Amino acid sequence: MLLHLSTWQEIEDLLRRSRTVVVPIGSNEQHGPTGLLGTDWLCPEIIAHEAHRRGDLLVAPTFNVGMAQHHLGFPGTIALRPSTFMLAIGDWVKSLAAHGFEKIYFLNGHGGNVATIEAAFSEIYAEASYAGRARGFSLKLKNWWDLKGVMSLAQRQFPAGHGSHATPSEIAITQWAYPDAIKAANYAPQIAPSGPIREAADFRARYPDGRMGSDPAQATPEKGGELVAQAVSSLLDDVRAFAGEEAP
C-alpha cells in the first residue's frame, strides 16, 4: 500500500496485521551535468513503489529534502541543516509510532544523509534511555545501494567511473523511471575527481560540475531497470526480516 493513497481506515485495518512501514528518504540536490536534482529522493521512491507493486509493503510518503549543505553552491539544491533534519525525522517517527508502528524502515538514497539520520535515531532512542524505559519501536536505516546484490551489480555494470556522487547507477534508475527526463551534456574529465567534503564554496571549487569520481554518461534505462529489479527483491527480503525481528 501507498500510505498517501490510502484512507486512515485502511491503515487502521492494516495495523491489525502488520506494524511495519517503509519511508523513502533522500535529498534534493545537484547531481552533475546530467543527473536530476531529485535523483536522491527519486531512487528510493522508485524502488519502494516498485516493491509495493510486486510485494506486500506499506510505503509512506517520501521524505524528499535532506542533508545537502555541501551542494548549496549549485542552483536547485534544497538542504536542511542537520539539526532541522533530526527534528523532522523525530516528528515523522513519533507520528508513526503513535499509530502503533513498531518497525520503521528508512530506505535512503543519499550518502550525505547517513550520519544525520543515525544521529536522529540516537536522539529518538535517547528519550527512552534517560528514562530507563523501552522505546517501543525499532528504527532501521538502509541505503538502497547496500541492499543485497545491488552494489555488486552496479560494479559489474560500471567497472570504472562509478564514483560516489552523480553515479551512473543512480542516474540509470531515474532514467528507467523517467525516460522523458533523460539529459545529455558534455563534461570533462571523463571521470570526476574525488576528495573531501566541506562547505559549499569549497565543494564547488573542487568539483566544478558537481560530480565526484563518476562518469555518469554510462547510465542507461536498461541498466536502471536491472538495478531496480535487484533492489526490489532484496528490499522485500530485508523488510520481511526486520518485521520479524523480536525484542531481546
Interface residue with a copy of itself, options 46, 50, 92, 104 (CB under 8 A): 92
Q: Say whether 104 sits in a helix, a strand or coil.
A: strand
E strand or H helix at 139, and its extent?
strand 138-143
Interface residue with a copy of itself, options 55, 56, 119, 151 (CB under 8 A): 119
DSSP string, 19-62: -EEEEEE--B--BTTTB-TTHHHHHHHHHHHHHHHHS---BPPP
Of 48-56, 74-82, 142-150, 229-237, which part binds a copy of itself (CB under 8 A)?
A: 74-82
Of 79-87, 103-111, 218-226, 228-236, which part binds a copy of itself (CB under 8 A)?
A: 79-87
Q: Is 43 in the site for a copy of itself (CB under 8 A)?
A: no
Binding mask 148-177 for a copy of itself (x = CB under 8 A): ------------------------------
Which one, 199 or 222, has the nearer CB to a copy of itself? 199
Cell numbers representing residue 160 in the block: 570504472
> Which residues ranging from 12 to 31 are in contact with a copy of itself (CB under 8 A)?
12, 15, 28, 30-31
Q: Please state, in angstroms and rounded to a whole number, the distance separating the CA atoms of residues 6 and 243.
A: 21
**Please, what is the minimum distance in Å from the beta carbon of residue 36 to a copy of itself?**
5
Which one, 53 or 159, has the nearer CB to a copy of itself? 53
Interface residue with a copy of itself, options 60, 147, 173, 192 (CB under 8 A): 60
Q: Please state, in angstroms and rounded to a whole number, the distance separating the CA atoms of residues 83 and 113.
A: 12
Interface residue with a copy of itself, options 54, 91, 164, 190 (CB under 8 A): 91
Q: Please state, in angstroms and rounded to a whole number, the distance separating the CA atoms of residues 207 and 29.
A: 14
Q: Is 192 in the site for a copy of itself (CB under 8 A)?
A: no
Cell numbers representing residue 67 in the block: 542533508
> Which residues ranging from 217 to 246 are in contact with a copy of itself (CB under 8 A)?
none
Q: Please state, in angstroms and rounded to a whole number, the distance separating the CA atoms of residues 105 and 203.
A: 31
What is the CB neighbour count within 10 angstroms for residue 47? 28
